[in-house]
Amino acid sequence: MATMSNDEILDAIGNKTVFELAELIEAFKTKFNVTIAAAPVGGGAPAGGAAAPAAAVEEKTEFDVLLKEAGAKKIQVIKVVREITGLGLKEAKDLVDGAPSTVKAQVSKDEAATIKTKLEAEGAAVEVK
């Protein structure tokens, strides 16, 4: 098998249609068992070399509060869920009965901690993601 240079590969790719490129990408992922992540918008790496890995890690600002298990005081947990979410009795009961389920999504770290504390005070098992 003849080896192609990088320039020859790029020229061959440049001559393909968008549909052919999509098929090529799928074939590449299948053959090499990889996933292809989208490049960040804005392009290049930040200047400073050593600071680049630290800059890439962003602190999470939104959290999801998941009810894993209602515990022994199910009625009390339903009351707290109603207070937190503003749901009606039936909807709150369905949410608690359907555990594990998301009680509240995309909340601040402080609000997630408050919700977790309230639910755990009633015996519920809660996870913040």
Q: Tens digit of pLDDT for each residue in 4-33?
A: 898 888 888 888 888 888 888 888 888 888
Cα(52)–Cα(45) distance, integer angstroms: 7
DSSP letter string over 19-47?
HHHHHHHHHHHHHHT---PPPPTT-SPPS
Residue carrying structure tokens 């039936």: 90
Q: Name the residue with higher pLDDT: 22 or 2.
A: 22
Which residues in 18-27 are b (16+ Cβ under 10 Å) and which e?
eeeeeeeeee
φ, ψ at 71 (rounded to 5°): 85, -165
Can you tell me the distance from the alpha carbon of 83 to that of 117, in angstroms, rounded to the nearest whole number? 13
pTM of the model: 0.52
pLDDT cut 70: percent of the chain above it: 81
List the end-to-end C-alpha distance of the chain, in Å, as a whole number: 50
Token readout for 90 is 């039936």
Give how far Cα 34 sits from Cα of 26, 27, 28, 31, 122, Å: 10, 10, 8, 8, 45
What would the mean pLDDT of 62-90 be, rounded to a whole number?
87
- So what's the pLDDT on residue 43? 52
Nearby residues of 23 by Cβ (< 8 Å), 6 or more positions away: none
